[in-house]
Amino acid sequence: MTLHLYYQDDQLIAPVEVLTCQPHDELFAATLHATPFHPQGGGQPSDTGWIGEAQVLRVTQEGQQIVHYLPQPLQLGLQEARVDEKRRRLNSRMHSAGHLIGHFVQSLGWTPIKAHHWPGEGRVSFKPGERPQAVDRIQVQRALEQWIGANLERHITMESGTRQVRFGQLPAYGCGGTHVHQLQELGPVSINSVSEKKGTLSVNYSLD
Ligand SMILES: [Zn+2]
């Protein structure tokens, strides 16, 4: 089982131990004892970066292992891993904005069912609870502006083995993704549309 370094801290550079490295299609697949790389999943794209001199092109969760795909083989043993900062930052901002949309729309009686925090395609989907209220795009926009303006701080706790992430006093979400420390790191978020189709409400958003 690969340990997730990014669960506890946001260190983008870390010493790592390469345990295995095997040819895989045109690439090489490597596993580490513990990794700072976030794999694709939970609505969030994977981190990229480097292990030693080798570029990490994509990272996936495969069962209990996190697998790093590289164009060249890695020597086993100690190496330095570096996560691409620009991409991580953008993914964390997109993902954190998705939390806020989830909180606000949930407060109007909707249950989040799916989140897609990919740049250019940001979307959170909801199904109606017992008494769902109408959701207005401007209202969502204002709620986010208020929380971002208050610069709420991120808190991460582990509860019965589940990682809980919350901003300020907003409710916590069980979540394995990466997030900003403070909401002002988000910058302006645009709620582009709120639409309803076959009972599913979709909120589309982007970062400016
Ligand atoms: Zn999250």
Distance 57 CA to ligand 1 centre (A): 23
Q: Is residue 49 predicted with pLDDT exceeding 90?
A: yes
Distance 75 CA to ligand 1 centre (A): 33
Distance 25 CA to ligand 1 centre (A): 32
Q: What are the tens digits of pLDDT across the range 92-143?
A: 999 999 999 999 999 999 999 999 999 999 999 999 999 999 999 999 999 9
Q: Could you tell me the domains of the chain?
A: 3-83 (2.40.30.130), 87-207 (3.30.980.10)
Backbone angles phi, psi at 205, to 5 degrees: -145, 160
pLDDT in the model for residue 208? 84
Distance 93 CA to ligand 1 centre (A): 10
Using CA atoms, how far apart are residues 45 and 26, in angstroms rounded to an integer?
21
Distance 180 CA to ligand 1 centre (A): 10
Given a contact cutoff of 8 angstroms between Cβ atoms, the answer to whether 100 and 171 are in contact is no
**Nearest CA-CA partner of 196 in 102, 131, 153, 133:** 133
Distance 39 CA to ligand 1 centre (A): 13
Distance 73 CA to ligand 1 centre (A): 32
Given a contact cutoff of 8 angstroms between Cβ atoms, the answer to whether 59 and 39 are in contact is yes
Distance 156 CA to ligand 1 centre (A): 10
Distance 43 CA to ligand 1 centre (A): 9
**Nearest CA-CA partner of 65 in 116, 23, 18:** 18
Distance 29 CA to ligand 1 centre (A): 27
Instruction: HSE, CB side, 13 Å, CA atoms: give it for residue 184.
Output: 3
Using CA atoms, how far apart are residues 97 and 203, in angstroms rounded to an integer?
11
Distance 190 CA to ligand 1 centre (A): 19
Q: Is residue 22 predicted with pLDDT exceeding 90?
A: yes
Q: What are the tens digits of pLDDT across the range 137-176?
A: 999 999 999 999 999 999 999 998 899 999 999 999 999 9
Distance 61 CA to ligand 1 centre (A): 17
What average pLDDT score do residues 182-204 get? 97
